[in-house]
């Protein structure tokens, strides 16, 4: 009996980025696979995990754009987060079991601002047990589900902004901008500790990831209803505009494509590379001697 061919292998090469508004209740990977199916993309990856309970901006990369995904993973993120004082859960969010309570379930605006200010800037954060980090080959969340707790060394993170949005009787809403690797639920637990109480995160919505804004997000339904989903894709070099560009001549382009180094005038550093027709080639590194070497070349998506 003939083997059934993988549907994924029949999908065409597709290159670009779509900004998904991840719905609540599914993992980032499941959301990615649903979007990949809608676009019928052969290769896909996302840029920074959102927990199942979280919603918001999840850049999904297709084809050659997956090669720049790490640049977005390393970028700053902005969130809207809801903090509930007075109860702490084992997961740090509303999906977990309550493991501790405290009588203090409200705080004044002055108390909130003082506590959040104390956690603004460069801080050390201990990752939660319910996280995807590894310990001796095992995910921390797998160990946590077995009732095990292991020592986690603190990691440096930066809290760029910890802004109070609303101090409601039942919760506190914040807008928080952080560096990569920051756990918002842990930050809210540390915030509560500054107030002399406990807390958990009841909602999380990502609004920014690097240069991308939540204003440009699309829901799963919007993508599914589009007559031509490919028209929704963002060119991958738009994720790299923080890097300066360099326009190559026809000869320089051919030399680069064939693996040769070329000499150009400019300051050393990483550049976006384009041919003379403004087609995106990839990324290059210019050293102090003026020698340009390829970092990543996107020949599959190159239109030259």
Q: Catalogue the active-site residues.
A: 51
Question: Token digits for 224?
Answer: 């599914």
Spatial distance between the Cα atoms of 156 and 143, rounded to a whole number of angstroms: 23
Percent helix, strand, coil in the chain (nearest 5)?
A: 25, 35, 40
The strand ranges marked E within 225-290 are 245-247, 262-263, 269-274, 280-286
Residue 231: burial class (beta carbons within 10 Å; 0-12, 13-18, 19+):
exposed
- Provide the H-helix boundaries in 60-211: 69-73, 109-118, 140-145, 184-194
Which residue, chain included where needed, has tokens 């064939």?
258
CB < 8 Å & 24+ apart, contacts of 131-135:
131/183, 132/49
Spatial distance between the Cα atoms of 208 and 197, rounded to a whole number of angstroms: 30
CB 129 within 8 A of CB 149: yes
How far apart are the two ends of the chain, measured CA to CA in Å?
A: 43
Which DSSP helix (H) or strand (E) runs through 254?
A: helix 250-257
Neighbours of 153 (CB within 10 A): 7
What values do phi and psi take at 268, rounded to 5? -65, 150
Which DSSP helix (H) or strand (E) runs through 7?
A: helix 7-10
Tell how far CA 178 is from the center of its chain: 11
């Amino acid at each position: 009996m003939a083997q059934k061919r993988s549907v994924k292998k029949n999908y065409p090469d597709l290159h670009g980025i779509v900004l998904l508004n991840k719905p609540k209740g599914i993992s980032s990977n499941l959301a990615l696979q649903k979007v990949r199916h809608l676009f019928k993309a052969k290769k896909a990856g996302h840029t920074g995990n959102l927990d199942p309970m979280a919603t918001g901006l999840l850049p999904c990369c297709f084809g050659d754009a997956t090669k720049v995904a790490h640049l977005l993973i390393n970028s700053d993120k902005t969130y809207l987060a809801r903090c509930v004082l007075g109860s702490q859960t084992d997961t740090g969010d509303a999906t977990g079991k309550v493991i501790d309570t405290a009588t203090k379930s409200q705080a004044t605006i002055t108390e909130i601002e003082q506590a959040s200010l104390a956690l603004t800037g460069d801080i050390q954060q201990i990752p939660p047990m319910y996280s995807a980090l590894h310990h001796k080959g095992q995910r921390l969340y797998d160990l946590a589900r077995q009732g095990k707790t292991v020592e986690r060394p603190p990691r440096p993170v930066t809290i760029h902004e910890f802004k109070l949005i609303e101090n409601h009787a039942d919760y506190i809403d914040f807008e928080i901008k952080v560096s990569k690797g920051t756990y918002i639920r842990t930050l809210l637990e540390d915030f509560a500790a500054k107030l002399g109480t406990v807390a958990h995160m009841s909602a999380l919505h990502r609004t920014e990831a690097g240069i991308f804004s939540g204003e440009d997000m699309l829901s799963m339904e919007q993508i599914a209803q589009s007559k031509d989903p490919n028209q929704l894709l963002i060119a991958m070099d738009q994720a790299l505009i923080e890097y300066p560009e360099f326009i190559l001549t026809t000869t320089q382009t051919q030399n680069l494509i064939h693996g040769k180094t070329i000499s150009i005038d400019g300051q050393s550093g990483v550049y976006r590379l384009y041919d003379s027709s403004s087609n995106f080639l990839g990324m290059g590194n210019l050293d102090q001697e003026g020698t340009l070497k390829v970092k990543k070349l996107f020949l599959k998506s190159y239109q030259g």
